[in-house]
Chains A and B, each alone.
Chain A
Amino acid sequence: MNPLELCLLFSGLLFAVGLAGALARSNAILVLLGIELMLNSANLNFIAFWRYGPANAPATGVIFVIFSIAVTAAETAVGLALVIAIHRHQRGIRLQESTRLKG
């Protein structure tokens, strides 16, 4: 099989696992980790197309991945701070109980 296809199948399956986790779990931290998995699969796609796609500038894919990792780190920090704030306000991080903003 084509190695590019294998890489894309890998990242597609990883995306599906992350999506299932983010939708199924009710713990806010696990939902955040599922989103992290989906972002990681996007990074896999960057590297796969950098390696096997049409020739371009040699450093493009790696630089994309570095920026993506930086943005993901910022997102995780804010997400975990929100989790801690929610935990302080309602003594728990189950998403079903976080209905304070419901209209």
Chain B
Amino acid sequence: MNAILILTALGTIGTAIAAMAGRNLLHSVLLLALTWTGVAVFYLWAGAEFAAFAQVLVYVGAISMVVLFAVLLTRRSRDDAGSSPAAQGRALSAIIAAAAVAGVLLGAILCSPLATLPRPAPAVSVRQLGEELMGSYAPALLVVGVLLTVALIGAVVLAAGDRTGQPEDNP
């Protein structure tokens, strides 16, 4: 049981490190799709099947494709060069800061008494989730719907840009 979790965690963190350290942006995005798949495997391991399916649909399916489109649209010949001294210094200080944060987090986790009861995973069906979402969480669901609508309309407006006054638009 724990071996599956450790394998999933090692694979996920390894692909995340490779994605964040890589030179090629396309390889980074594809490795991050693998990372998100690893997170979905963790959800399946923990017994949250619906969250795993949502993770695969939203992250692996939608977000990685949108990020790939953005990478291809904004591609330049001069890539994200990591060889200049300023970039190396920034990377070093970033790694030091992240290691400090990781040290604090891991110390806090290992020092706190986390007594877990050996109980089975809470069985939650899709029907139950739907009834909860439409019942006690209905206001939150409405707010999330409004948020998604506003954010997507805003994204379209931002990405479409200001095209008035350009002569090639008025032939």
Interface residues of A (CB under 8 A from B): 1-10, 12-21, 23-27, 29-30, 32-34, 36-37, 40, 43-44, 47-48, 50-55, 57-59, 61-63, 65-67, 69-78, 80-85, 87-88, 91-94, 96
Contacts and interface: CB of A to CB of B under 8 A. Distances in A.
A51 B120 CA distance: 8
B48 interface: yes
B105 A16 contact: yes
Contacts of B42: 7, 10, 44, 47
Nearest to B150: A74
Nearest to A33: B32
B13 A50 contact: no
Nearest to A92: B76
A58 B128 contact: yes
Contact of B148 (A65, A66, A70): A70
Contacts of B105: 12, 15-16
B63 to A, nearest CB: 5
